[in-house]
Structures are given as C-alpha cells and as structure tokens.
Amino acid sequence: MSKETKIVCIGCPKGCSISISHDKSSIKAIEGYSCKNGLEYAKNEFTAPKRILTSTVKVKFGELLVVSVKTKDPIPKNKIFECMHEINELEVEAPLKIGTIIKDNIAQTGVALITTEPISRI
C-alpha cells in the first residue's frame, strides 16, 4: 500500500509543494517539482535528510561571550541532537577568524564545525 508524504522544496526560491508516494522504504513517484533541484531535494529528503546546523559556542577572553558557528557541510538530520550536545560542551579561546575549525568530525559525522564571525581577544 502506497503512502504519500508532502514536503516544501527549499532547492530554489520557488518553494514547490512536492508529493512523494512511497511504501515507507522506497519511492514510487515524485510529483510537484518544477526543476532538477526539486527532484534531487525530494529524493534526498526522503532517503537521507541533511541540514546545516547553526549555533553558538562559548568564548574565553573574547570581546563577545559566544561565537556563532555552523557545520561546514550538511549533517544527517538524525545527528542534530548529538551535535548540539557536543556543541554545548565546547568552549574556545579568542581570537577567532571566520572559518576557524572549532571541532573536526562533530558527532562522528565527518563534518567540521566552523566559526562564522571573527572574535577579537580582550
């Protein structure tokens, strides 16, 4: 018996409403996308959803108390809470540049956590 999952595509600015017909483990049909990005997004969102994770990390000796960070690449959606647990344990020392690697291979994802802003030392 086929089920249907509806998603809104974020592959381009159109925001197409996409329907994925499936039997829980495999895709039967994808409808509603208007470009190649939408088709790829729908396939990936169903089989292995990923997200860029953004957060903040505590800073010692910095002009600010925290630095904004993000994963350099998308991580598996099911690893978000594990990554956040690790991020909440981190503390770094200023100075920091944009793109400084805070943690390599966060939560065993193979993806680095990097800074997105510079922080001067005080």
Q: Would you say residue 35 lies in a domain?
A: yes
Helices (H) and strands (E) in the chain, counts: 2, 10
- The arithmetic mean of pLDDT across residues 89-112, rounded, is 98
Mean pLDDT of the chain: 96
CATH of residue 7:
2.20.25
pLDDT exceeds 90 at position 1: no
Q: How far is Cα 25 from Cα 61, in angstroms, rounded to an integer?
A: 50
pLDDT-derived band at 12 (thresholds 50, 70, 90) equals confident
Residues 40 and 62 in one domain: no
Cβ neighbours, 10 Å, residue 67: 23
CB 33 within 8 A of CB 16: yes
pLDDT category of residue 11 using cuts at 50, 70 and 90: confident
- Domain assignment present for residue 37? The answer is yes
Residue 75's domain spans which residues?
54-115
Please count the other Cβ atoms lying within 10 Å of the Cβ belonging to residue 68: 14
- List the CATH number of the domain containing 58: 3.10.530.10
Q: Of 106, 88, 122, nearest to 114 (Cα)?
A: 106
Tell me if 14 is assigned to some domain. yes
Q: Name the pTM for this structure.
A: 0.83
Query: Do 60 and 111 reside in the same domain of the chain?
Result: yes
Is 31 domain-assigned? yes
